[in-house]
Amino acid sequence: MSKYFQRGVSSKKEDVHNAIAELDKGLFLNSFCKILPDTISKSKNHYLLMHADGAGTKSALAYVYWKETNDLSVWEGIAQDAIVMNTDDLLCVGAVDDFVISSTIGRNQKKIPSQVIKSLIHGTESFLETLRSYGINIANSGGETADLGDLIRTIVVDSSIVGRIEKDKIIDNANISDGDVIVGLASFGQANYETQYNSGMGCNGLTSARHDLFNEKVRRKYPESFDQEIPSQLVYSGSHYLTDSIKEYQTDFGKFVLSPTRTYLPIVKSIFENIDRKKIHGIIHCTGGGQTKVLNFIDDLYIVKDNLFPTPKLFELIKSSSKSSMKEMYQVFNMGHRLEFYTDLDIAQQLIQISKSFSVDARIIGRVEKRHSKGLEIISEDGSVFYS
C-alpha cells in the first residue's frame, strides 16, 4: 500500500469514479470536461461548460508557511491555484475565453482571520487581470465565504467556472489516434506572464509533498495542519523546514513548493488563433493521476512517453525524501509537464514554437500506437514503467 493511500488520498480516485459511473457524462464521452446543451440561450450553435475544483491541500501548506513567516502573498498564489485548476481543465475541450468564475471559501474563523480572506480576494482579481491582459474574457461573480469551524481545521479554497463555446471549436479526446505525437508543455521555469520561477508543483500531490519534504518541527508547531488519524510516521516525516534555503533558486522550501499553478491559457489561446483546431486531436491536463491521466480518455491505444523533460529539482527532492518508486512518482506528480497535445507530427513544431514564445519550454514527449487494449509505458534513464 502506497504512503499516498495511507495518508487518505488516491491518485486514481477509484471510489469516486465508481460512485459516478452511472451518471450522464454529457454530450462527448471522451471529452476532458462535461459538455452540455446550451439550455440557457437555447443556441443550437453553442455548448455550455461548467467545472469545479480548488487548491486542495496546498492551502494547508500555505497556512503553516504564513503562520511561520507572516507572508500573506502565499494566499494570492492559492487563489490562482483554485482558478487555474478550473480554467486549464476547460481549455482541454477548446474553451479559452468567455468565462464566469465564482469562489467558495470555507474557513475555521479561529485560525483564519479577515486579512487572509482579503489576500485571497485580492489574489483572485489580480490573477484575472493578468488573464484579461492577454485577451481572455473572464468575469468574477464573487462567491461565498463560510465559517465552518466544526468541519474545517484551517481553510479550503475552491472555485467553479462556467463557459460557453461554439460547437465547431470542441476538442474531443475521442479523436486521439494511432500515429499521433504528444507535445508536452513544461510546468517549471518562468513564463513571460509569471513574476517568479515556478517549481512546477501545480495542485496535485501536495499531501505527499508536504509530509515527505517537511520535518517533525512542522508537526509539533502546527497540529491543525494535518489529519490526526494519519499514522505518525507518515506525518511531516521529511528532513527540511519551511524556511530552509534553496540557494540555486534564491528561495526557501516552503515558497518553492507553493509556486502558484501555472496557467497555459495565454499559450493555448495563441495556439488556437494560429493553428487549425482540427489538427489537435486531444488535450490532457496532467492533474490527478499525473502522467497517467490520459488513461482515463482512451480505450484501445498504447501511449509511449520516452522523451520526458529532465526531472525538475522539486520532484527530485520529493523522490529522494520519500523514497518513492518512479512508478508512484509518475502517478502522483506531473514530473515536469502538465499539459499534453495529441496531434499530427506536421504541426508539432508550431505548437512548440508558440509555447517557447511565452518562455515555456515544450517538446515532443511521446507517441500513440494502436493496440488491442489500452496501456501507457514511460521510458526514461531510470528504466521503464507500465500502466493499464
Average the pLDDT over 166-176 and give the result. Answer: 96
**pLDDT value at position 382?**
87
Other C-beta atoms lying within 10 Å of the C-beta of residue 135: 13
Residues 6+ apart with CB under 8 A from 82: 53, 54, 55, 103, 124, 157, 158, 159
Do residues 193 and 134 touch, judged by C-beta distance below 8 A? Answer: yes
Report the number of secondary-structure helices (H) and strands (E) in the chain. 12, 14
Query: Looking at residue 10, what is its pLDDT?
Result: 52
User: What pLDDT score was predicted for residue 371?
Assistant: 87
Would the CA dihedral through 352, 123, 84, 132 be positive or negative?
A: negative
Which of the four pLDDT bands, split at 50, 70 and 90, describes residue 27?
Answer: confident
CA 270 → CA 21, 136, 277, 355, distances in Å?
Answer: 36, 11, 12, 9
The better pLDDT of the pair 22, 127 is held by 127
Its pTM surpasses 0.85 = yes
DSSP conformational letter for 291? G
217-243: per-residue pLDDT in tens?
999 999 999 999 999 899 999 999 999
pLDDT, averaged across the chain: 94
**CA atoms of 252 and 317, how far apart (whole Å):** 13
Cell numbers representing residue 213 in the block: 519534504
What mean pLDDT comes out for the span 6-21?
56
pLDDT tens digits for 72-99? 999 999 999 999 999 999 999 999 999 9
pLDDT digits (tens, 9 = 90+) for 247-286: 999 999 999 999 999 999 999 999 999 999 999 999 999 9
